[in-house]
Amino acid sequence: MTARAGWAVAGIVAVGLLAGAVELVVADSYRDALLALVAGLLAGAVGVLTVSLAPAADPRGLVLGGVFAIQGVLSWTYTNLGGVTWTLLLLSGVLFLFWCRPLSPAALRSGAAWLGVSYLVIGALGAVLVMKPEIALQRLAYAGYFGLVVLAVFAFRGSFARLTLGIAVAFLGTVAVLLLAGSGNLFTSPHVVPDTPWGRGFEYRFWGASWLLDHPNAMACIAALAAIRIGADAGLAAWQRIGSVATAALILCTSDSRTGFLLLLTSTLAFIWYGRRQALIPAAALAVVLLANGPSFLIKERYGDDAGVSSGRVETWRQVEADWRHDSLTEQLLGNTRDARATVYRASSGADIKLTVDNAPLAALRKAGVVGVAAFLTGLGLLLWNVWRRRRDADAWLVVLLPGALFTMITNEWLIGGTGGTLWLLLLAGEAALLLRSPGPA
């Protein structure tokens, strides 16, 4: 064993012992302490994997990935304190302002840029026309922030392979922190959940700790994205690639995320085109998830018969349609103005729950109306065309991620960005790499 490997093992053991000791003090249970020890060892192993990958990553990618992952964590940890997330947006926005030069006209040809920014501008215009200036200002602030992200990515002049790796490594590091923070309840039930209507009833899914939470689907997303970006990179060590996929499998098991599972499954099927043997690793990981959770978790009715297999999504989509029919003509064209994020109220969920649409095309309709749907389709078409036209120059991870992104946009909004839009960010950086290179043969 080399000295570096010895220090890595020592670090993992130290983290595990620390987690176990803390849980022993808190819970006064040797059983819970032992389980926390195991969870701490896993968190330490993911941390070592993250540290091993960091030297190959670009610092700008690490910052971008970290900011977007932390946005999601803060949003769920401080659900009722929006100022916390806005503070992060403000501080990181100032940094991105310094990074956005030189301005690149290629950003205008980016499908991902259209997906992440256009609906916010359209929705702001709609709010102005219906005399809701506060909502218009908030949407413009969001549009300005994500516009700066686009410019900062397209202004990058280093290695995009290192940039996208940095984003993925930041996601992996976030997973390590959440595992360590929640080591006391990773293998026990019920899990710690937010003390909000969103959290109650989710005790069977791992969120983290009471002071550091992330939605299970969001956590599964960043773990799956890290596995896809790192696992498909032939330039990295085999143990790093396998470790990233194993981490995703662990999170999928504990988060019980069907959307995350489908994202990794679709990408794995696409990866077979690059190498059948290599695709066996994520396929084995997915098999472990099915064994651990049981195949029935994919069709489980989590909220009773009324919610169905979709966990209430279908009812939300129907509500979006009903609201659209009752909206003014301006809102039908430019988006609902119930609030800045155009959340949905459904009587069956209770008056204190603001629902997200959980469907990218319908979210575009909700947030920016018919014009927003047109902008969404334009952005999606541009993204697909840009990758297809330059497919021979595209990295394997980008090509295999796209089918997963398209498939899971049916049950999630992460294709259109927003706070915690981790998948959007990685797609944006991958597309930027292609647009800023000399175009390959079509």
The CA distance from 165 to 160, in Å, is 8
Asked if residue 376 lies in contact with residue 120, where contact means CB atoms within 8 angstroms, the answer is no
Q: Rounded to whole angstroms, how far apart are CA atoms 194 and 191?
A: 10
Tokens found for residue 90 = 């403000």
| Per-residue tokens: 322 | 């009903």
208: enclosing H helix or E strand: strand 208-209
pLDDT at 337 over 80: yes
> Distance between CA 203 and CA 189 in Å, rounded?
7
For the chain, how big is the Rg over CA atoms in Å? 21
Q: In the prediction, which pLDDT does 302 show?
A: 66
> Cα 221 from chain centroid?
5
Q: What tokens were used for 7?
A: 């220090």
Chain-centroid distance of CA 425 in Å reads 9
pLDDT grade for 4, boundaries at 50, 70 and 90: confident
Strand 208-209 and strand 212-213: the pairing is antiparallel
What was the pLDDT predicted at 439?
Answer: 46
Instruction: Report the SS3 class of residue 344.
Output: strand
Task: For residue range 382-422, list pLDDT tens digits in order.
Answer: 999 999 999 889 999 999 999 999 999 998 888 998 888 89
Segment of 15-24, 309-318, 354-363 carrying the highest mean pLDDT: 15-24
Spans of all domains in the chain: 100-156+301-442
DSSP conformation class of 235: T
| Gap between the terminal Cα atoms of the chain | 49
Distance CA(215)–CA(208), nearest Å, equals 9
Structure-token pair, residue 432? 């930027």
Tell me if the pTM is above 0.85.
yes
The DSSP line for 268-334 is HHHHTTT-HHHHHHHHHHHHHHHHHH-GGGGS--TT-TTTTTTTTHHHHHHHHHHHHHHS-HHHHHH
Least confident among 40-49, 151-160, 221-230, 408-417: 408-417
Average confidence (pLDDT) over 153-162: 95
* Predicted confidence (pLDDT) at residue 25 exceeds the cutoff of 90: yes
Task: State residue 376's pLDDT score.
Answer: 96
Mean pLDDT taken over the chain: 91
Supply the pLDDT for residue 350.
Answer: 63
Does the structure show a pLDDT above 90 at 441? no
218, burial (CB in 10 Å: exposed 0-12, middle 13-18, buried 19+) = buried
Residue range 82-118, pLDDT digits in tens: 788 889 999 999 999 999 989 999 999 999 999 999 9
Q: Locate tokens 């550091």: which residue?
A: 212
pLDDT at 344 over 70: yes
Alpha helix (H) ranges present in 158-299? 160-181, 216-231, 238-255, 258-271, 276-293
**Cα-based distances in Å from 433 to 78, 392, 393, 394, 395:** 35, 13, 9, 8, 9
What is the share, in percent, of the chain residues with pLDDT greater than 70? Answer: 95
The C-alpha atoms of residue 110 and residue 435 are separated, in whole angstroms, by 8
Q: What is the pLDDT of residue 231?
A: 95
| DSSP 8-class letter at 189 | S
pLDDT confidence of 303, banded at 50, 70, 90?
Answer: low
Lowest mean pLDDT among 67-81, 105-119, 190-204, 403-417: 190-204
> Considering only CA atoms, which of 354, 330, 327 is closest in space to residue 342?
354
Alpha-carbon distance of 51 to 413, in angstroms, equals 30
Q: At residue 440, what are phi and psi to the nearest 5 degrees? A: -80, 180
State the pLDDT confidence band at 442, using cuts at 50, 70 and 90.
Answer: very low
Residue 438 has pLDDT above 70, yes or no: no
CA distance 312 to 395: 37
